[in-house]
Amino acid sequence: MRIIGGALKNKKLNYIKNINTRPLRDYVRENVFNILEHSKKVNVILKDSIVLDLFSGVGSFGLECLSRGSKKIIFVENDKNAISILNENIDNLKLVNNYLIEENDVIEFLKNHSLNLKANIVFLDPPYKENRIKKILSRLINCSLINTKTLIIIHREKNSNDSELQNFVVVEIKYYGRSKIIFGNLSF
């Protein structure tokens, strides 16, 4: 794994090598960022944005955002091994203070956070087996971290059931192998 673009382009990223973790593949991440930067359907400016990286794992999405000029990334992850490798990646990239790591369950974080900011982008990359998407989206609507203009990007398995995406206005869906990337906004 590596950083695809920006100031940290081609820097290597460490990742977990086990069957329980599914890192976002480089080519999928590259396509997501091409859409973020060039699609007329997606209305977001990556530079100087605040990004909420939920189920961040080893941080490949958020670190890519930092490489491309995002102002701040909030990584939310509860797996201690993933957080350890995320910290290694941050150290290796020599990042100083434009990130925050929240070691917590995503729903608990959304329910109890004390942050005073609005995210421009939320990247939601749960394990494929995660069945609380509806609850997570509901918590996002009811927390103070987003507004109606916040772009939500959801990474799911290609055959996942989209009926759990209530109050979610789909802007674009892309498929890459087993992955489905859904871009949209929450209506509230």
74 token code pair: 């909030």
Has residue 47 been placed in a domain? yes
* Other C-beta atoms lying within 10 Å of the C-beta of residue 34: 13
Section 127-146 average pLDDT: 91
Has residue 11 been placed in a domain? no
Beta carbons within 8 Å of 136's beta carbon, 6+ residues apart: 54, 106, 107, 110, 124, 126
The domain tally of the chain equals 1
Has residue 50 been placed in a domain? yes
Range of the structural domain that residue 108 is part of: 26-186
- How high does pLDDT run on average in the chain? 92
In terms of Cβ atoms closer than 10 Å to its own Cβ (0-12, 13-18, 19+), residue 80 is exposed
Distance, CA of 47 to CA of 55 (rounded, Å)? 22
Has residue 87 been placed in a domain? yes
In tens, the pLDDT along 45-97 reads 999 999 999 999 999 999 999 999 999 999 999 999 999 999 999 999 998 78
In terms of Cβ atoms closer than 10 Å to its own Cβ (0-12, 13-18, 19+), residue 82 is buried
Is the confidence at residue 19, as pLDDT, over 70? no
Distance, CA of 108 to CA of 136 (rounded, Å)? 10
Has residue 3 been placed in a domain? no
In tens, the pLDDT along 95-118 reads 878 999 999 999 999 999 999 999
CATH number for the domain spanning 68: value is 3.40.50.150
* Other C-beta atoms lying within 10 Å of the C-beta of residue 2: 13
Beta carbons within 8 Å of 24's beta carbon, 6+ residues apart: 57, 60, 61, 125, 155
Q: Enter the pTM of the model.
A: 0.94
Has residue 5 been placed in a domain? no
Has residue 80 been placed in a domain? yes
Has residue 140 been placed in a domain? yes
As a whole-number percent, the residues of the chain with pLDDT over 90 amount to 81
Is the confidence at residue 17, as pLDDT, over 90? no
